[in-house]
Structure 1
Amino acid sequence: MIPFNKPYFTGKETKYIKKAVDFGHISGNGSYTKKCQDFFQEKYNIKKALLTTSCTDALEMCAILLNIKKGDEVIMPSFTFVSTANAFVLRGAKIVFVDSKKENPNIDESKIESLITKKTKAIVVVHYAGVACEMNTILDIVKKHNLYLVEDAAQAINSYYKGKPLGSFGHLSTFSFHETKNIQCGEGGMLAINDKQFIDRAEVIWEKGTNRSAFFRGEVDKYGWVDIGSSFLPSELNAAFLWAQLKRVQKIQNKRIHIWDSYYKRLSQLSQFGVKLPFIDNYATNNAHMFYFICNSTSERSDLINFLKKENIYAVFHYQSLHKSDFYKKKYDREELKYSNLFSDRLIRIPLYFELSNSQLEFIQDSIIKFYE
């Protein structure tokens, strides 16, 4: 079976993990944590980076930092992973879902402003497949209505909007290092802080609600409980693993882009069968996080997945619209979200990982074309 995903190992992960063990500091916020955080701050122009145990935790930190409370409204796309919404629901927020664009699963920026009310506190954008949302328009809306902007950049490492790194636009942004991501450490994430007003409090929340970070910098003579928080720090073992990956980020990206480009070139012929390939606006770059395409119907997608399985190729579909989920559908009282539903029903993802060989790549392409022909 050709798997949908296979985590890539650079060969240096265990070396750095052993160094962390030998150094004797394997709990959070050690030397490898600092190396990873510095990497993002320097390479992607982020004011302050804090590693977390997951992107989900980073999103929950965003909700705490923005003082989200019952009655607040948070605008976000429906076509996203549940963590994007859960983080704010946990603080009592009402989620206001927006449809996707016709061209791709990103939030339709033209539909945002009409949903803003006096209760709106934040807009959360999700850069689906690592492809940028239309940030200039969204930033104008945020500024006009004095709102907070959160970027869910879980899939968007090393991706850009008009030359500026994703994750550097929002007041707060989040990344994922789950094993399905381009750069991974099994489980992991990061909070990116681009508004200085949040830095000090973020460190406190990150350290279980204590001013422990300030203590270790010698800014206070003892540390204690000063705010709410939780155990959001990953261990040094995770950070050491992640550091090995970050040092090879360009090599990993180059290979993934090669695979993505090969898929796009070869599968473009499927347009004659009504299949739609990924659309990337000229303001966005492609970090090759995934390769997907849009089938003509749900049944066609199911038939294709089953066909590929018989060929020993594992393909999957993706998010289900959150506004139609069992948890939220009784709360949703607005118009149906046409394109979010379409992507939920028809989008298929095919294998894309570093160690995918050229022969496997060709076999996958041949099999998909065989199905349609």
Structure 2
Amino acid sequence: MIPFNKPHLTGKETHYMYDAVSTGKISGNGKYTKMCQDFFEKRYGFKKCLLTTSCTDALEMAALLINIEPGDEVIMPSYTFVSTSNAFVLRGATIIFADSAPDNPNLDASKIEALITPKTKAIVPVHYAGTACDMDQIMALADKYNLFVVEDAAQAIDSFYTGKDGVKRALGSIGHLAAFSFHETKNIISGEGGMLAINDLQFANRAEIIWEKGTNRSSFFRGEVDKYGWVDMGSSFLPSEIISAFLWAQLEELDTIQAKRKHIWEQYYTQLESWARAHAVQLPHVPNYATNNAHMFYLVCKDLDQRTALIEKLKANEIWCVFHYLSLHKSPFYADKHYGAALDYSDHYSDCLIRLPLFYDLEDEQIQKITHCMTT
């Protein structure tokens, strides 16, 4: 069977993991952690980066940093992974779910302002499939209403947004804070793993404290204080050097990995374009202000029946394809807490979106098998 995902190894992961062990320090914040963090800061212009054990942890750090408290409201799409919401629910926030856009699963920025109240504290845009949300609109609203913006950039490594000012910015570098994932399903992986990107330096020092279990341990090891202790809330968010060493091997090959994934994405698009048009199937839409990082190739079927039939046909031909999120506003946990508005596009993507296999080692012959199965 052609799997939906297959983790790609560059060949140097175990070498760097062995090197990390040989240094005598395999707990967090060692050589490889710092190398990875420096890489992201220099390549993408993030002010400060902190590796975490997951994107979920990075989001939870963000919720702590912006002081989310019971009664605060946080606006985010309903069509997202549960971690986006959980990070803020854990701090007592009320989640105000926004609908997706008609032409792609990102939240519809034009619908956000109507959801803002005096209790609103943050907007959390999710860059679905690595495609940028309309960040000009979102940041303008944040400025107008004095709100924080936390970018959920779990899928958005090496993807960019070009604003009305003509400046091209990396996703995750625009909001006050951003969270990335290096889960094995992502473009660049470490098995489990994530990163908090800090773009507003007012959060930099406290982020490091929260990252180190609420202590000023990092300052101590830099010689800035003569002892360290408990100075704030925090948890054990930093990954081991083993995870960071694995990630470093991936980052060395980022351009090669991205080029191959984009080749696969383009093959899908070219081979399915005519079929999709004939069968009322929507191919991925990348707005003019966004770039495509080839994180995912998805289709939006015309209805649930069409999607179900397509999944079953592909599975019968030993091709594993999957749908994606279920609208969080209808989830068993949050349905009775939702403010009540219908979110029709979110539900449409829940019922109709299907993801095709996309991983580095997927070969052209396999792509052709998949598209041939779909179009015949």
Secondary structure in 1 matching 2:9? coil
The letter of the residue matching 2:282 is K
Match of 2:155 in 1: 155
Aligned-pair Cα RMSD in Å: 0.5
1:133 is displaced (CA, Å) by: 0.4
The letter of the residue matching 1:33 is T
- Give the alignment of 1:109-120 within 5 angstroms: 109-120=109-120
The letter of the residue matching 2:350 is S
User: 2:259 & 2:253 partners in 1: Cα distance?
Assistant: 10
User: 1:232 & 1:219 partners in 2: Cα distance?
Assistant: 22
User: 2:171 & 2:339 partners in 1: Cα distance?
Assistant: 32
Q: Which runs of 5+ in 2 are unaligned?
A: 163-167
The letter of the residue matching 1:16 is Y
Deviations 1:28-61 (A, max 9, x none): 0000000000000000100000000000000000
Aligned equivalent of 1:352, options 354, 358, 364: 358
Match of 1:303 in 2: 309
1:166 is displaced (CA, Å) by: 0.3
Secondary structure in 1 matching 2:50? strand
Identity within the alignment, %: 64
Q: Does 1:183 align with 2:185?
A: no
Aligned equivalent of 2:230, options 221, 225, 230: 225
- Give the alignment of 1:88-103 within 5 angstroms: 88-103=88-103
Match of 1:167 in 2: 172
User: 1:30 & 1:345 partners in 2: Cα distance?
Assistant: 45
Deviations 1:246-298 (A, max 9, x none): 01000000000000001001100121111110111111000000000111111
The letter of the residue matching 2:335 is K
Runs of 4+ in 1 over 2 A off after TM superposition: none
Q: Does 1:323 align with 2:329?
A: yes
The normalised TM-score by structure 1 is: 0.99
Secondary structure in 1 matching 2:337? coil
- Give the alignment of 1:1-373 within 5 angstroms: 1-162=1-162, 163-269=168-274, 270-370=276-376
Secondary structure in 1 matching 2:336? coil
User: 1:219 & 1:307 partners in 2: Cα distance?
Assistant: 62
Deviations 1:124-163 (A, max 9, x none): 0000000000111111110011100000000000000012
Secondary structure in 1 matching 2:197? strand
The letter of the residue matching 1:136 is D
1:300 is displaced (CA, Å) by: 1.4
User: 1:309 & 1:103 partners in 2: Cα distance?
Assistant: 27
The normalised TM-score by structure 2 is: 0.98
User: 2:337 & 2:254 partners in 1: Cα distance?
Assistant: 42
Secondary structure in 2 matching 1:352? coil
1:331 is displaced (CA, Å) by: 1.0
Secondary structure in 2 matching 1:363? helix
Secondary structure in 2 matching 1:126? coil
Number of equivalences:
370
Deviations 1:93-130 (A, max 9, x none): 00000000000000100000011000000000000000
User: Higher mean Cα deviation, 269-278 or 316-325?
Assistant: 269-278
Secondary structure in 2 matching 1:103? coil
1:334 is displaced (CA, Å) by: 2.5
1:333 is displaced (CA, Å) by: 2.8
Match of 2:165 in 1: none
Deviations 1:4-33 (A, max 9, x none): 000000001011001101111100000000
